[in-house]
Chains A and B, each alone.
Chain A
Amino acid sequence: MMNKQRLSRILNACSLSLLKEITEQLEQTLCLQVERFPQTSLVMMKARDSVSDQPFYVGEVLVTECTVSFNQKFGIGLVVGEAPQRAYCMAAVDAAINAGFPILEQWRERLEAAEGAIIAERNAECARSAESQVHFDTMGAYNDRH
């Protein structure tokens, strides 16, 4: 199921050209209204401290946020970093979905392909690091073997 978590995970990392393509189609079909222009803001990041098992605030993350509406249905774009275009496109897509526009059905194949590419890229980075997997020997064990 393409819930908002999964969709936003794709949209915050996919190619901007795909996002623009989707948004341009929306702009041609729907009367989108920008309620809040893209602007940078902060999100306070909370993390679990494993000693106390309690949360604490690590620090703030710079994000870009945008709000778009269509047919009185709002959509929100929120993304890490300074990315006004991406935030606007994400908000437009969200507004269209909230208004019942069948965007996920229309773009499912492309979105899933983008998701696959993101996973593959991240997997490749981790796999490259995993090549430096290390097995240290203590000198005692080393001397026993040689």
Chain B
Amino acid sequence: MGYVAVTGGQQAIETANLLNQWYRLKDADHALEVTAIEKQMRHLVDRVISESGLYAPNDAALALKQAEGDPAEAAFLLRAYRSTLERNVESLTVDPGQMRVIRRISSAFKDIPGSQILGPTADYTHRLLNFTLRNEEAQAALKSVLQQLPKQDNPHTDHRQPFRKVADLLRAQGLLSPPNARNGLVDITRDKLTFPVPRSAKLQLLSRGDTGAMTALACSSMREHTAQHPTVAELRVGYVELTVAYPLASNETLSLGEVMVTEVETINSFTKKDNGDVQFQLGYGLTFGQNETKAIAMAILEQRLETDGTSPTHDEEFVLLHVDSIEANGFVSHLKLPHYITFQSKLDVLRQAQKLAAEKTDHQEV
């Protein structure tokens, strides 16, 4: 379908932009501080950095302020900002197994080496609206929380040690399919997506996919394959160190700082090998920030895409072309823009069809 551009409306558009600002501020006692959004809207910020594919929490908070809390618009703003920046380096390969963990759970085993740590979560919290937050004073509230937290028994114990992965333990017992090396490392921000896509491109696309879309697709997949209900072997949240090769000497590396990520490994189904052995198949999810539902959905979807089936979640074009927030929102919301000529042509076709139908009826009556 061809599109015909429109022109004009400049003054109205400028006024509309100002009206947007007026509605943002007209009932505000004070302007939102970007730092407050970054620090107190953690999950929203994490969602935006994950869906934009750009780890920049402070800029994500700014984008959320500008977008008045719309995560899709904020992710769009960050993705646009990202396109203006240079990229000179890529990191050395991060091993999430070395994560500095603040949360680690397994729904497969109640006792895992290093034990389960609930960490910051509302998983076991009553969903009751907390009206006291209306008049919260930050420092007083923090003091109260610190007073209620358990006193640390031994502050000298080193808690930064990496935990061994649950999946590695299963693998050591021969219960998991061995790692399955797949074709090539692709960067979807630079390489054109052609189907079938390599595994690395699938993971990159899912990692920056839309939380809502991925959750809905994973949910549909679980409802369809109830006998193969996935189990979370391990979900961990924590910090990984970003390291790059030192550009001025080949034998040195530089630490750039830490990045918060969520990693999930799910046990999805059995697979039968040629010799008749049966083994579990793993699903893998890794996202920026603390995005647990999305990481689980990613693990479910990537595993579905790796296996044959007839449902939509086995179809990589269907899944991968629809889970990107910016793509999907852009395509749907572009319908708000003028389509006068295309609609006129539809009208013309309809009138022409009506005219032909009327002529045919007249001809038959005669």
Binding site for B on A (CB under 8 A): 3-5, 8-9, 12-13, 39-63, 65, 74, 76, 78-82, 98, 119, 122-138
Contact = CB atoms under 8 A, between A and B. Distances in A.
Given A50-B167, A51-B179, 19 more contacts: A42-B87, A44-B89, A50-B96, A50-B179, A50-B284, A52-B199, A54-B200, A56-B185, A56-B200, A57-B185, A63-B256, A76-B246, A78-B89, A78-B244, A123-B155, A129-B101, A129-B102, A131-B152, A133-B117
Nearest to B105: A134
Nearest to A55: B93
B219 interface: no
B159 interface: yes
A63 B59 CA distance: 12
Interface of B: 50, 52-56, 58-59, 82, 85-97, 100-103, 105, 110-111, 115-120, 149-150, 152, 155, 157-160, 165, 167, 179-182, 185, 187-189, 199-201, 203-204, 207-208, 239-244, 246-249, 252-259, 261, 265, 282-284, 286-288, 302
A137 B243 CA distance: 40
A138 B110 contact: yes
Given A58-B204, A80-B257, A81-B56, A42 B82 contact: yes
15 contacts: A44-B187, A44-B189, A47-B96, A47-B261, A49-B284, A51-B302, A56-B185, A58-B94, A59-B50, A60-B55, A61-B91, A62-B54, A129-B103, A129-B117, A134-B118
A74 B165 CA distance: 41
A13 B259 CA distance: 13
A39 B272 CA distance: 53
Contacts of A48: 93-97
Nearest to A49: B284
Given A8-B256, A43-B89, A45-B259, A62 B200 contact: no
A57 B59 CA distance: 21
Contacts of A43: 87-91, 242, 244, 256
B134 to A, nearest CB: 27
B203 to A, nearest CB: 4
Residue picked from A48, A57, A133, most chain B C-beta under 10 Å: A57
Nearest to A44: B90
B93 A47 contact: yes
A38 B157 CA distance: 39
A12 B91 contact: no
A131 B153 CA distance: 9
A131 B150 contact: yes
B159 A62 contact: no
A126 to B, nearest CB: 4
A137 B53 CA distance: 39
B93 A46 contact: yes
Contact of A50 (B53, B242, B282): B282
Contacts of A12: 255-257
Contacts of B159: 123, 126-127, 129-130
A9 B258 CA distance: 9
A126 B302 CA distance: 30
B58 A81 contact: yes
A52 B182 contact: yes
Contacts of B203: 49, 56
The 5 closest A-B pairs by CB, nearest first: A80-B257, A53-B179, A126-B159, A62-B56, A56-B200
A54 to B, nearest CB: 6
Contacts of A78: 89, 244, 254, 256
A99 to B, nearest CB: 12
Nearest to B96: A47
Contact of A127 (B56, B86, B105, B157): B157
Contacts of B187: 44, 57
Nearest to B81: A62
Residue picked from A43, A124, A135, most chain B C-beta under 10 Å: A43
A134 B112 CA distance: 11
Contacts of B53: 59-60
A98 B248 CA distance: 10
Given A42-B86, A43-B89, A52 B179 contact: yes
Contact of B149 (A9, A59, A128): A128
A126 B160 contact: yes
Given A55-B93, A57-B185, A98-B248, A119 B160 contact: yes
A43 B94 CA distance: 13
Contacts of B110: 135-138
